[in-house]
Structure 1
Amino acid sequence: MPTLHFSEHASPAITVLEDGTRVYRTCSAGIGCHNLGCGLKVHVKDGQLVKVEGDEEHPISKGRLCVRCLTAKEYYYHKDRLLYPMKRAREDRGRNRWERISWDEALETIIAQYRKTVEGYGIGAVSVWCGTGREASQIHFQMANDVFGTVNAVHPNSGWSCIVPRMAAMLWTMGSSYIEADNAIGFPDRYDDPRWECPRYLLVWGRDPLRSNPDGLFGHSLVEMMKRGMKLVVVDPRVNWLATRAEVHLQLRPGTDGALALGLLNVVIEEDLYDHGFVEQWCYGFYELAERVQEYPVDRVAKICEVDADDIRTAARCVSQVPSALSMGLAVDQNPNTLQIGHALLSLFAICGSMDVPGGCFMGLPPIFAGMAENAPVADGVGEPEGLAKFGNVGVEPLGHDRYPAMSAIVNTTHPDATLDVLETNVPYGIHFAYAFGHNTLSCMVPQPQRWYEAMRKIDFIAVADLFMTPTIMGLADLVLPAATFFEKQGYVSNNNASQPGQMGAIVPVLEPAGECRADLEIMLELHRRLYPDSEKPGWASATDFIDSQLGKMRGVDATYDDLCEHVIGQYEIEYRKYEKGLLRADGQPGFNTPTGRIELYSTVLQNLGDDPLPYYLEPKFSAVSRPDLAEEYPLTLTTGARRFTSFHSENRQIATLREIHPQPTVDIHPATAAGYGIAEGSYVWVENHLGRARMMAHLTPIVKENVVSCDHGWWLPEADPENLFDVFEMNVNQLIPHEENGPLGFGTHYKSMPCKIYRTE
């Protein structure tokens, strides 16, 4: 079993320079990224932040930093940061009529409104909302379950289209909580460790890791492996930097990923490129899969996906070589066909023998993701959550799980789309209290944001903790709490909360909180103390105690928060072929953590959940093939969500340097397509379909296919009128995305494949 270890040769966590500047080694957890923890050296003199540099001793990031971290000083000292608790009257929602209050008044107001809600409507009327990534999501379930006693933890992303569908496919077919390309992340010597082998090929599917450092993967590690001989196959409707270096780039029609994945499987099986020994010993349902993929011959798939048939064959032959690895991204989640895409891609690498071998697809340990049904609703692992137990909510399912029962088998949040239905109809009951943090609903995530806005306005009381005023706060909140940056708080970062062993780092407070800002964790602990004054809940006495309790529940971690702060970064050494050693199963027997003990190419779990046990293709519901009537008026295909260096979803719009790099919401259009509509570079255009429209600035580029337009997401303008909600509804591309058009089990939606038209603004 991998264990966390620290380097004996690292520099001190704090160094004092000759001029008195203190240089802190710490890990990042914010300013626009997931909680992977790039290494920082933060220079502080006389209590003031001087600059931020990369920590060259960090074994993963090796001194590299993105532009978001490099502009952290602008972020920390920004004039628009929220510094004090504020309130306003409910009738003033949408108006800039804030009144500064004390923390005592703020917290007691939240508690009073919470108790009023429970007394008047019952505990089901209480909800806790949280966004994506970073360490805030580590406490979402504790905030809902242990503090407010509700199972209605809300992540309002249609179809839960962010990592959860991929993890469902991994768990229900492979029995692993997370599977990622092996980039030697746990070895102190990284690629020089003799146990590691360089992948021959990496299949990068619907992901741009150089811009976003996604779940479990630092993007620059791909470049390091390319220097050591690894080659790429890239699947993406857009051309990115990796695609220009790939042996094969399959620039598919948006939304057709499922067909392409099955086409690759067809080639590998028909050409006998798979590992017969591994399939016979470790896979279940191969012959059924082989029969299914006969329905997807290469010529048919090429026509569906609008790619060259020979390129599909070449790509399949490349990635069948062992070891090769898979890195699939958010585009897999943002598709109603999501589970089947993940199932097909994982099956491809499994039958080739590249699963959990050096240089292949590294398998994470069995589930410890905070919020997996295995751990929830007992979210903190120490007895029953205080709030849930108080209100008899242990075992109660969140909203929407009656309609989408598969959700209960993977995550303990409300179903996002069902949540909007409940807000609009008050069936089966109304939501009257909301606490939100790490989350900007109106600018990001939700399709049909104006529907959400109108529905959320009916909530009696809404409190939000954040770092800046946002459209969500301005439009909906009654009370706002100023949140701390990662410079001002305690915490830790790890790969998918250590379900994907590799590294763990300390978030070290290096600056005094600006104004009266407080960390989300501190706010949660203080609310808990006030709601349960007689509680002696283990691990909840302080932030340090809480972090220690979390670390103590992680496999292979024999370290405290103080240990992390002293060493800054620790690593897990990687264990390969865990299935041969009994490391993947609770009973300690060889095999995989599935009902059959094998990799389930034919998934008994999906079968029991009422879905097809074999992967299949779903044509996008609103495509020209499915809806020729829509295609007459909306002949183009819209894809959204491409990553930018300057932002993470709706964040960083205030930062001058980043806005100079990317100043406006942009739609990428192929020059030939733009010419047909009289659109020039820099023109302002409306992107419109039958659901809504968004105003964007045109950028003409051949990186997108003809007749495909790629729109930025998450935009709002902090410099615009706050009482017009910073123009969010003028430029929010999610207005063109449908509500509750999910896959058969409730996962995924059409963020990547909607019809549209474009035309110049007046």
Structure 2
Amino acid sequence: MKADYHLAIKPGRDEILILNMLHVIFREELWDKEFTAKWVHGFHRFFQTVQQDRFSPEHGQELTGIQPDLVRQVARSYAQTKPASIFTGNGLEHHSFGVSTMRLLAILKAITGNLDVPGGDLFTPRPGLRDMTMPLPEPSVPPLGSDRFPLFCQLRKEAHAMCLPEAILEERPYPIKGMIIVGGNPSLEWPNSSVIRKALRKLEFLMVIDVVRSPDCQYASVVLPACTFLERDEHRINVYQNLACITLRQKVIDPVHGLADQLIWVELAKRMGFADYFPWENIQEGINDLLSPLNLSFKSLSDQGGVYEYEERRYKKYESQGFRTPTGKVEIESERLKSEGYDPFPIRDNALHPVRYSDKFPLFLTTGGNLLCYLHWQYRYIPKLKKIASDPMFEVHPRTALQYGIADGETAEVQTTRGKIRLKAHLTSRIRPDTIHIPQGWEEANVNELTGMEGVDPLSGFPNLKSLRCRIQKI
């Protein structure tokens, strides 16, 4: 199946495109007036603002790089298609103002009446499992990042990972002496890899738990082998697939090497004196404990085919319970942000400012995509997959490659203000001429040598990995 429209947007300008689409929808009166009047808070000021000419597709063209007629066609198509849904990955969050973009996207879904309706963007509740963290004592120190990104830490109920390297190296707000990495590779996957490596080396103790010997094992004091999904029992929650069901995945064989992740944590806890908080002798006991509020067990779930639907699909749940906001409505002007001292209005003051051109770094760099044969760093150790994509590469438009004298397969250097790496050029007309893309996960040409924590989102603290400035040079 091929798309009807492909909007090759300039990196980092998604919020402008959404505002341009909303402008068309408001000017042509295509929004869902009944839903908006009843269920949207703060609509009038937003409506009056976005109708202004400065938010038109014609004014947005220079910023987004998209023809106005195409924007108008897409806006009409989305608004007039009933129902419609928008699926996104995590690329929108990885810009300097990702939260602003995601808020505008949510507003677009809401004012077109596409929330929690058949075929629209659904809200799927989580099951009422037992909270295994409830008996644990409260931490004696505040979570890292709670001073810089308080809303993130409050809403996620966790520390901010991007604040960890600085805390390790500078020992502020308190020293970090030890760390456990489970199935990840911060030195490859997090921005500013050189700083990450320095932080990992400074730790007094680092433990890595993984199925294979991952790159970060070289910094580890201890490496514990985990087993694969074929060698362990586990329950699955399927909210991200919008399925209100719990599923059971049962092991095919006993572990050949290592332990299941769940048992690693249980055994560690027992040896550290926390057995009372981790009383289970095996995985099935732990799953029984989790499922107990639902009067389910590992065996009963298995006996019914490994699938339990904990709630029948219900649409428009907001009609009986409202939305999970202070006003009970979709909040264009966020009361939570207002109460925390942030601007509640979703349009940034400088949203329409043009991207500053740089003679030194004239191209956009977007990073982090996965090649089809790999997932992040994983599977590069499988010979058959390695044959599909054996060398680090970057994607570049043929016209851009010609301008720099680079042929397909030739090695070039990509440089940002952070550093430079060498990769082979892969010419493709599927990318914008002003943009190059580098997939993640190559140890020998790690794209996160080029990224950093400059320009993080002020609310989420997420780094900008998708709209950096760079230059390329033939080697």
TM-score using structure 2 length? 0.92
Q: Does 1:480 align with 2:223?
A: yes
Specify every segment of 5 or more residues in structure 1 that has no aligned partner in the other structure, as ranges: 1-222, 224-244, 583-589, 717-726
Query: 1:324 is matched with which residue: 84, 87, 94?
Result: 84
Q: Distance in 2 between matches of 1:560 and 1:485?
A: 23
The residue aligned with 2:236 is 493
Could you say which residue in structure 2 is the equivalent of 1:342? Answer: 102
1:696 is aligned, of 420, 423, 439, to 423
Cα-to-partner distance string for 1:684-718 (whole Å, 9 max, x where unaligned): 221111111122221111000112101111122xx
Alpha-carbon offset, residue 297 of structure 1: 2.0
Structure 2 stretches lacking a partner, 5+ long = none
CA distance in structure 1 between the partners assigned to 2:112 and 2:77 by the alignment:
11
1:397 deviates by 2.6
Corresponding residue number in structure 2 for 1:633: 360
| 1:513 pairs with 2:255 | yes
**How far off is 1:576 after superposition?**
0.8
1:741 aligns with: 455
Amino acid at match of 2:33: H
**Distance between the aligned counterparts of 2:351 and 2:214, measured in 1?**
33
* Paired residue type of 1:462: L
Note the alpha carbon deviations across 1:245-299, whole angstroms, 9 max, x for none: 2222211000111111111111111211011111111111111221332352221
The secondary structure found in structure 2 opposite 1:410 is helix
Alignment of 1:616 with 2:347, yes or no, is yes
In structure 1, what is the Cα distance between the partners aligned to 2:15 and 2:295? 42
Task: Tell me which amino acid in the other structure corresponds to 1:351.
Answer: I
What SS does the corresponding residue of 1:435 show, helix, strand or coil? strand
Distance 2:438 2:98 in 1: 21
Inter-CA distance 667–323: structure 2 relative to 1 (3 Å threshold): same
Task: Output the CA distance in 2 between the equivalents of 1:646 and 1:271.
Answer: 45
Alignment of 1:231-310 (within 5 A): 245-293=2-50, 294=52, 295-310=54-69
Counterpart contact for 2:394–2:426, Cα < 8 Å: yes
- 1:358 corresponds to 2:118: yes
The answer (yes or no) to whether the contact 1:619–1:626 under 8 Å persists in 2 is no
Query: What amino acid maps onto 1:578 in structure 2?
Result: K
Please name the residue that 1:707 is paired with.
Answer: 434
Cα separation, 1, equivalents of 2:210 and 2:349? 39
Amino acid at match of 1:735: E
Q: State the distance in 1 between where 2:275 and 2:360 align.
A: 64
Aligned residue for 1:303, secondary structure, equals: helix
Match of 2:71 among 312, 329, 335: 312
What's the CA shift for 1:638?
0.5
In the superposition, the TM-score normalised over structure 1's length comes to: 0.59
Letter of the 1:282 partner, please give it: W
- Aligned partner letter, 2:271: R
1:567-606 per-position Cα deviation (integer Å, ceiling 9, x unaligned): 13445542111112x3xxxxxxx42121101111221112
**CA–CA distance in 2 between the matches of 1:683 and 1:407?**
43
* Cα offset, 1:366, TM superposition: 7.0
For the residues of structure 1 that align with 2:307 and 2:56, how far apart are their CA atoms? 48
2 CA distance for matches of 1:562 and 1:337?
A: 47
Distance in 2 (CA, whole Å) between partners of 1:755 and 1:711 is 13
**Cα displacement (A) at 1:620:** 9.4
Instruction: Count residues in correspondence.
Output: 470
Aligned amino acid, residue 525 of structure 1: V
CA distance in 2, matches of 1:340, 1:747: 12
CA distance in 1, matches of 2:278, 2:225: 27
Question: Aligned pair in 2 of structure 1 residues 608, 401: CA closer, same or farther (>3 Å)?
Answer: same
Q: Which residue of 2 aligns with 1:525?
A: 266
Q: Determine helix, strand or coil for the equivalent of 2:209.
A: strand
Alpha-carbon distance in structure 2 between the residues aligned to 1:616 and 1:334: 18
- For the 8 Å contact 1:525–1:543, the answer to whether it is kept is no
Counterparts in 2 of 1:513 and 1:618: CA distance versus 1, 3 Å: farther
| Contact 1:255 1:619 (8 Å CA) reproduced | no
The structure whose RCO (Cα within 8 Å, separation 6+) is larger is 1
Whether 2:224 is the aligned partner of 1:465: answer no
2:287 aligned residue: 547
Are the aligned partners of 1:268 and 1:316 in contact in 2 as well (CA < 8 Å)? yes
The answer on whether the counterparts of 2:153 and 2:160 sit within 8 Å (CA) in structure 1 is no
Correspondent of 2:187 among 419, 428, 442: 442
Aligned partner of 2:135 in structure 1 is: 384
RMSD: 2.5
Cα deviation 1:632-664 (Å, max 9, x = unaligned): 111111111223221111111111121122222
Q: Distance in 2 between matches of 1:533 and 1:349?
A: 46
Q: Secondary structure at the match of 2:195?
A: helix
In the alignment, the residues of structure 2 paired with residue 256 and residue 432 of structure 1 have an alpha-carbon distance, to the nearest angstrom, of: 40
Q: Distance in 2 between matches of 1:254 and 1:740?
A: 16
- 3-state SS of paired residue (1:632): coil
Q: 1:425 aligns with which of 148, 170, 173?
A: 170
